[in-house]
């Protein structure tokens, strides 16, 4: 018996060593402690409370991914223009709204015809357009010029971004290319600017939607939170920690960071031992299955003090051919059905399909102390873009 116990202990130690080694390789240790603390969760809700689920799908939308040539770029955009309206046709949330896809379009891939096709879907209330950017070894002067030129182009040429009522400056959300927000890659790759959060704020950005990025080393140690980051212009990765957004709180720092769920996929294990990282990414190899959707909701990301409003932000790279049948076909169809059947009964749950802009507005409404139905606050601060039709109030 003692020999068996010794052998079992040896196997356990070896397995633990393998797990720890793989975690180090995948840069898990930086954010693992935050995940283990589980300190983003709220107190249990009173019996009978109606919970609201804000479901936001953001897309690193890159028609020029892999430099395929102009014809392939156009085919990728045309596939979305053709199939996404069909996918959404029979789906509605508690506000009688269809699913909405937020296209974070990369500045370096700008073609007016691609944006025009996306705006057509946006006019159908199926999408909104925001800012994506890949850059490397950049300078502050060049970054400011790049952002100003692109955001003005989207606002003027395409009516795709709203403008501040007082200053006229375009307002927009952001996803950083290669995850390297605020020069956060350990090698300095993919950015080069330590005061990027300040620049983004001053140029009209109201929130960042880049994360989660695990297992990439750019992943901040703060997980599953909505928080304000304060930029240290002399240091990279100033968003590693910040001040949590809370009911009746005050804005602080330079930029709001809105994260999607991050954790582990316990039913999917590498080598049969190591749970894979759950990073809210939708691809053919990681479709939006019911168990994943339930895990995103159970993560419970919320504004502190308003736990009955749950925010789920998932992401994808929506123009890669290997994933299009998942994003525009049966797997996403099944995901919408699951959301609408389980999280939209009108009593325990109400479902709200929201854009990145609408998610930010609802977060700011919660911060301001607003309560009740969050669907009323989709346009709380940042208005709809000029192309958007007026919607009847809820």
Mean pLDDT of 386-390: 65
Return the residue matching tokens 């059947």: 341
Using 50, 70 and 90 to split pLDDT, how confident is the model at 2? low
User: Which pLDDT value is given to residue 44?
Assistant: 85
Q: Phi first, then psi: what are they for 104, rounded to 5°?
A: -90, 100
Distance CA 9, CA 231 (A): 47
User: Which pLDDT value is given to residue 16?
Assistant: 39
Query: Which pLDDT tens digit goes with each residue over 111-120?
Result: 999 999 999 9
Distance CA 49, CA 46 (A): 6
Contact (Cβ atoms closer than 8 angstroms) between residue 226 and residue 251: no
User: Which pLDDT value is given to residue 15?
Assistant: 41
Q: Give the distance from CA 24 to its chain's centroid.
A: 25
Question: What are the residues whose beta carbons fall under 8 Å from the beta carbon of 229, sequence distance 6 or more?
Answer: 197, 238, 239, 241, 242, 253, 254, 255, 256, 257
User: Which pLDDT value is given to residue 19?
Assistant: 42
pLDDT at 23 over 70: no
Q: What is the CATH number of domain 31-38+52-377?
A: 3.20.110.10
Distance CA 137, CA 114 (A): 27
* Residues forming a β-bridge with 127: 101
User: Which pLDDT value is given to residue 39?
Assistant: 80
pTM of the full structure: 0.91
Using 50, 70 and 90 to split pLDDT, how confident is the model at 137? very high
- DSSP state letters, 40-68: T--PPPPTTPPEEEEEEEEEE--TTTT--
pLDDT at 316 over 50: yes
Percentage, residues of the chain above pLDDT 70: 90
Give the closest residue to 116 by CA, choosing from 82, 150, 84, 157. Answer: 157
Per the prediction, the chain carries an average pLDDT of 91
Distance CA 152, CA 154 (A): 5
Contact (Cβ atoms closer than 8 angstroms) between residue 69 and residue 109: no
Using 50, 70 and 90 to split pLDDT, how confident is the model at 322? very high
Mean pLDDT of 238-243: 97
User: Which pLDDT value is given to residue 215?
Assistant: 94
How many helices (H) and strands (E) in the chain? 10, 12
């Amino acid at each position: 018996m003692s020999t068996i116990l010794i052998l079992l202990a040896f196997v356990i130690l070896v397995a633990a060593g393998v797990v720890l080694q793989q975690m180090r390789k995948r840069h898990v240790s930086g954010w693992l402690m935050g995940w283990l603390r589980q300190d983003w969760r709220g107190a249990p809700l009173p019996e009978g409370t109606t919970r609201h689920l804000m479901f936001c799908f953001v897309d690193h939308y890159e028609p020029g991914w892999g430099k395929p040539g102009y014809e392939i770029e156009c085919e990728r955009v045309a596939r979305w223009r053709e199939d996404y309206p069909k996918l959404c046709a029979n789906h509605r949330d508690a506000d009688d709204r269809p699913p909405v896809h937020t296209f974070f379009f990369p500045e370096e891939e700008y073609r007016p015809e691609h944006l025009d096709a996306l705006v057509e879907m946006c006019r159908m209330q199926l999408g909104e357009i925001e800012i994506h950017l890949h850059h490397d070894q950049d300078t502050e002067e060049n970054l400011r010029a790049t952002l100003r030129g692109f955001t003005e182009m989207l606002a003027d040429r395409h009516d795709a971004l709203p403008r501040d009522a007082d200053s006229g400056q375009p307002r927009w959300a952001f996803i950083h290319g290669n995850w390297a927000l605020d020069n956060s890659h350990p090698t300095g790759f993919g950015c080069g600017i330590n005061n990027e959060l300040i620049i983004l704020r001053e140029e009209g950005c109201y929130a960042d939607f880049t994360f989660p990025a695990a297992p990439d080393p750019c992943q901040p140690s703060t997980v599953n939170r909505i928080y304000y980051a304060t930029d240290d212009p002399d240091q990279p990765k100033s968003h590693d920690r910040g001040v949590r957004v809370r009911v009746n709180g005050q804005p602080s720092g330079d930029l709001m960071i809105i994260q999607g769920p991050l954790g582990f996929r316990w039913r999917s294990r590498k080598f049969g031992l190591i749970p894979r990282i759950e990073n809210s990414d939708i691809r053919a190899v990681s479709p939006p299955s019911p168990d994943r959707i339930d895990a995103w909701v159970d993560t419970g990301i919320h504004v502190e003090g308003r736990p009955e409003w749950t925010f789920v932000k998932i992401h994808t790279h929506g123009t890669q051919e290997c994933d299009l049948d998942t994003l525009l076909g049966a797997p996403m169809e099944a995901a919408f059905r699951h959301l609408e059947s389980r999280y939209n009964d009108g009593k325990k749950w109400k479902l709200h399909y929201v854009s990145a802009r609408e998610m930010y507005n609802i977060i700011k409404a919660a911060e301001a102390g607003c309560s009740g139905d969050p669907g009323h606050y989709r346009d709380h601060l940042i208005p709809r873009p000029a192309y958007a039709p007026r919607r009847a109030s809820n």
